[in-house]
Structure 1
């Protein structure tokens, strides 16, 4: 079972999952498979070569092809007579604004803003930082960069000035595109003072800042005019006066964007994506994984600052002529736990893609799905979840409540699209709770032990690795450093890309991703997966969310400690709950886990995408120095954690 084999008996039809996957990964047929897939993209110079290895481990897809991603996302649909179709639906639960933008109108705005950038001297290969909230201008700015061959780097609007400065110094942009601010529940975040501080701290590559005014938020370009060497411009004024820019032809391997991985501090790691492989892979994924295409309404409830936002808010839906939803709000509290279901009903959403933490948040507040009953969500053909492990309890809750397929799939910032999924557009494979099902086209997944040898026993956990070459759409490398790319991903297991995740394959070939390899803890010589322990804790009917991590123990080296939050309305004494959770772990895992530490919290520390900050929790528990991660959703949660663990909330 070390080398991934599909033992599920697929239907004996042309184009079945098994046939597709084998063709896409076998060296004899791989090139033909991906050249056929490339035909769904419009090329200025069609590729005749599928892939080429430039040097050991470094591959390039469609090296002789040329295209423009913005043209593929917009122009070709308008030219085909679909200009009146909705391209973007903007729904702000924060301001109440709801806008539908057609393909023709979006093309007009993107062309004009590309002209704005070109007037500021931006050309092929130049970098532009996009520092915007979840508003349509974020999509406009990204596609405008792609139109003229500029490389965009999206940084979360509201990110700390120090973190923005670090990214400026790494990417060396000439232009920053921003807004007066963003809206969060109960507060307004002003962006321009943060941008100014970041510019003051950076080494001076930025020449121009373009500001989109938001009426409800103070601050404008005029407030900073004449301050220092940077020119501050008003977005609306410049767009109205701009000469529209035509798309330029780019090599397939030319960079499309740089995306910095979450939690990076000091020396950021910028993942670089290409144009050609990216377009081909995302178009393939929409048809074959999400079963979505022209006329469908696709909603990735994420943020453009994450890879999910890049791939499935902006590029993939538009590449296939679908309608994409950009949502400014939260799954709960804007105004209630029915926010997602309201959006699905209002726009007849076909596919919803979000993180398990969003569904757990809804479950915690509305465990009986009372809010869901107020809305008609019959348009939904599937709920896709990714970004962290989907525990079986949450899977069952969502699957039973929605009565549409709930699909767990697994991928990374580095891959840009799914490594493993249920390929609904090819054939719908039976799901198994806790599993991301099978690898999709191009991903030859294997389970390796610490020495790089295949793990042959089904169910035995090991390192998840992908045999090279990676498929189209995955990272070109790390911005500015080939050595960092090799060291980070290719050196651990020669011939493989190391995912950094651990997991196992069952007797039917289903992959189970249990967590990061550094989430495996060693208790008195026994290696335990924190994902397995978390799965047990969520069996308790009062537990909404949990995190298990290894904390320092002077005798055993490490011990497992659990941190849990309760469902709304749960009535149970904390001591009783702790005893019951310890009993559950003893029953399902055994006394070897030596599990006895349970801390009950109101909320778990998370990133803005909903990932639990396990490393930070461990550092706080162990009393180690730590840095507040720049992607944290709410820093005050750390004070509550310190108070619960140490009896003091003194800040670090």
Structure 2
């Protein structure tokens, strides 16, 4: 790669840091404003910062109306593909605008006004996109809860955000089973009002209120043929009106977009905390729209008319940013996929979608790629499809190990790009900006900090460490547009959660290091660092070594209690499809790999082979829960877990050793 490419990125980055107001006001021209901002950053309440304080816009209008007005009304905006039901549907920009404007009328008819909250508890169906954009259209604040979350977790989120309306479906579909949503919602509402006729489960995290104090007035239900349950069956339960989606649409009239302040909240998205109240990340309207519009062009190199498929869920931040808002703000086509990378029906599902919809950019998670690798290590399914439209695959959500990177990069004609970000930031912190100029790829690194982010690595006392030394990754304040300005529960909790540990910085909670070229290496959460006889070891480094074994599909390393050394490293692995190896031989070879790569200080010797690793529905490995089980501690089954039975298999495997 030419030096000029790196210099161009460096120039953009330097400009964003030295002249942030000028840089982001220029980027603000990528969206349409009712009143264009003349000010960039408002730092009057530091360390609480706001972007574009004098700007006025509507995000839904930017995502839909302006593209229809620009002559793109007949272009496909949303392509829906359900591997669960076999159904497919496309919406042009004109058609999606009509659906959104009409459902905004439904919300208005049900008392929702600017600033009110709407809880969205939907599967991966078009109604989720429509409901989110309809909220934005009237200035309501949506709070999407991953479909299928347990009643307690749903109740906690409802009680914190206090929505007036819940938008839901009769249920969601998983391979081999369905999940009925309406009983879960009824139970969640019963928990809040202490209705013992429905549930005895009232937790300490829920403050019981009277039925008159319940914020929810209406539950709007979109029935699905594949899942039982209708609004009529539940109407009146827990003192709430349950209304049918289609019947409500028949009574509604389309509404025009409402002007909102750039600093007004667009949505609240809760982090998946396992204790106490999850943190409600606030996303503002103007900063988010500008950041996403900038990122679509400069990071993903996606323009109007291109097709982007983000294989995630609207319940996660990736789905908010790059299934719904980002592609539509760019005038692109977004693909909404209801299915899995494998098993719906096979390991060729991703490649089918790419071919069928002419996908230019695919955004997924390393865990999805590893799932494909495990089932189809020789990528036989890939050969069945034409994926020539792919310009790049972007991965985020879990650390991309070098072995998986090389496997995918060798098989595909296009670059495999790692990038790193968080629910709190809303878009990439570190990335290879293909729209500015593609940078040389360094396997194991998501590349360089994105313009706007002042990244540093510091020790426990906040002192910057030397190049190549691992420490705490922090971000200098102010954060760029699109990042959380605060938490829904208030500025005080935001400051104490993120800004107190290292004054002047936002604490990411991740550890890593920066090399001589400025490339960032994210090694894992800071609480995933293990201490073996006084030596601090990154689980990411150990996992990297183990992943080089040809039989290994996935690995998680945790630190478990050791009477002598304090902690010792324990590896939990899954094997590739068809791989067969004696356990003692595998342990010997993995120990040798770790010893060669990390050194004898790791004292690695514990290996457990599992059919599957415990994961969240978004693909993150539940290392904390695994550590608690291995140490015999009391643990709570995380609300985000994909399959609780995997934990029982883990306990059985440990007991058998």
Name which of 377, 392, 395 aligns with 2:387.
377
Aligned residue for 2:37?
47
Indicate yes or no: 2:230 matched with 1:220: yes
Alignment of 1:108-507 (within 5 A): 108-202=98-192, 203=209, 204-456=214-466, 458-507=467-516
Aligned residue for 1:103?
93
Name which of 54, 57, 61 aligns with 2:47.
57
Q: Does the CA contact (< 8 Å) of 1:360 and 1:394 recur in 2?
A: yes
1:392-425 per-position Cα deviation (integer Å, ceiling 9, x unaligned): 0000011111120000000000000000000000
1:75-113 per-position Cα deviation (integer Å, ceiling 9, x unaligned): 000011110000000000000001110000100000010
Q: Does the CA contact (< 8 Å) of 1:444 and 1:467 recur in 2?
A: yes
Q: Does the CA contact (< 8 Å) of 1:331 and 1:358 recur in 2?
A: yes
Q: Would you say how many aligned residue pairs link Structure 1 and Structure 2? A: 637
Q: Does the CA contact (< 8 Å) of 1:314 and 1:324 recur in 2?
A: yes
Deviation at 1:481, TM superposition (A): 2.0
1:308-357 per-position Cα deviation (integer Å, ceiling 9, x unaligned): 00000000000010000000000000000000000000001000000000
Deviation at 1:12, TM superposition (A): 8.3
Aligned residue for 2:14?
22
Q: Does the CA contact (< 8 Å) of 1:170 and 1:268 recur in 2?
A: no
Indicate yes or no: 2:608 matched with 1:599: yes
Deviation at 1:560, TM superposition (A): 0.5
Q: Return closer, same or farther for 1:550/1:589 CA change in 2, 3 Å cut-off.
A: same
Deviation at 1:8, TM superposition (A): 9.5
Alignment of 1:521-600 (within 5 A): 521-600=530-609
Q: Distance in 2 between matches of 1:250 and 1:382?
A: 35
Deviation at 1:574, TM superposition (A): 1.3
Q: Distance in 1 between matches of 2:29 and 2:595?
A: 55
Q: Distance in 2 between matches of 1:576 and 1:12?
A: 45
1:331 counterpart SS class: coil
Q: Does the CA contact (< 8 Å) of 1:8 and 1:508 recur in 2?
A: no
Q: Does the CA contact (< 8 Å) of 2:186 and 2:238 recur in 1?
A: no
Q: Distance in 2 between matches of 1:400 and 1:610?
A: 23
Q: Distance in 1 between matches of 2:396 and 2:590?
A: 26
Q: Does the CA contact (< 8 Å) of 2:528 and 2:539 recur in 1?
A: yes
Indicate yes or no: 2:25 matched with 1:35: yes
Q: Does the CA contact (< 8 Å) of 1:8 and 1:509 recur in 2?
A: no
Q: Does the CA contact (< 8 Å) of 2:48 and 2:491 recur in 1?
A: no
Deviation at 1:586, TM superposition (A): 1.0
Aligned residue for 2:76?
86
Deviation at 1:215, TM superposition (A): 1.4
Q: Distance in 2 between matches of 1:9 and 1:629?
A: 47
Query: For structure 2, which runs of at least 5 residues remain unmatched after alignment?
Result: 193-208
Q: Distance in 1 between matches of 2:616 and 2:122?
A: 18
Q: Distance in 2 between matches of 1:301 and 1:43?
A: 30
Greater shift, 263-272 or 531-540, is seen at 263-272
Deviation at 1:266, TM superposition (A): 3.0
Q: Distance in 2 between matches of 1:173 and 1:636?
A: 33
Deviation at 1:386, TM superposition (A): 0.2
Aligned residue for 2:203?
none
Q: Distance in 2 between matches of 1:58 and 1:198?
A: 33
Q: Any runs of at least 4 consecutive aligned residues in structure 1 with deviations exceeding 4 A, and if so which? A: none
Q: Distance in 2 between matches of 1:10 and 1:485?
A: 40
1:12-41 per-position Cα deviation (integer Å, ceiling 9, x unaligned): 88xx21111111111xx2111100100011
Deviation at 1:236, TM superposition (A): 0.9
Aligned residue for 1:4?
none
Q: Does the CA contact (< 8 Å) of 2:420 and 2:446 recur in 1?
A: yes
Deviation at 1:459, TM superposition (A): 1.3
1:579-635 per-position Cα deviation (integer Å, ceiling 9, x unaligned): 110111111111111111111111000000110000000000000000000000000
Deviation at 1:541, TM superposition (A): 0.2
1:117-173 per-position Cα deviation (integer Å, ceiling 9, x unaligned): 011111111110000000000000000000011100000111111111111111111
Q: Distance in 1 between matches of 2:222 and 2:272?
A: 25
Q: Does the CA contact (< 8 Å) of 1:448 and 1:463 recur in 2?
A: yes
2:243 counterpart SS class: strand
